[in-house]
Amino acid sequence: MKKKSFMRKVSILLIILTASIFLGCVEDDDNISFFYELVPVESVDIPEAFVTGKTYKIKTSFFRPTTCHTFSGYDYRRSENKRTVSVVNIVFNERACDTLPKNDTTTVSFDFIAGREKSYIFEFWQGEDAAGKNQFLTVEVPVVQEEPN
């Protein structure tokens, strides 16, 4: 009996050791190298007025600089009636990134619910000037009680 028990333990240890060696050699996909980067907003599709309580889809267009850039989401900040919006890309560190032409925009959107403010001021980030100062496309949208004709 003791011999069978000993052989069973050795067999289990060999299986665990073999599995550990095999899994240790498998390429680990968890080490994908990437970073986040703001990309300038090129254009915006936003209503001329909002109605209190209604939801609006606000579209932003931007250029993807390379094939390694992919839309990740928005950096959205609010302060009173001001909304600052930046497009965030995830950039994968790969050796073969192709530069994309500046005539092919990507359009994404977010939902905005109009509250009880008299107007909303949207600042869409468009990059930095030569001095490193942030530049924005600023749009003020009034809030009305009913749909404009």
Q: What average pLDDT is seen over the chain? A: 86
Residue with tokens 């970073």: 35
Query: Would the pLDDT of 11 be above 70?
Result: no
Return the pLDDT at 3. 57
pLDDT in tens, 61-98: 999 999 999 999 999 999 999 999 999 999 998 778 99
Q: Are 62 and 87 in contact (CB under 8 A)?
A: yes
Going by the DSSP 8-state scheme, the letter that residue 99 receives in this structure is B
Minimum mean pLDDT among 20-24, 59-63, 99-103, 133-137: which range? 20-24
Residue with tokens 């300038």: 40
Q: Which among 148, 144, 149 is positioned nearest to 53, based on CA atoms?
A: 144
Other beta carbons less than 10 A from residue 81's beta carbon: 16
Return the pLDDT at 146. 76
pLDDT in tens, 90-134: 999 877 899 999 888 999 999 999 999 999 999 999 999 999 999
pTM, full prediction: 0.76
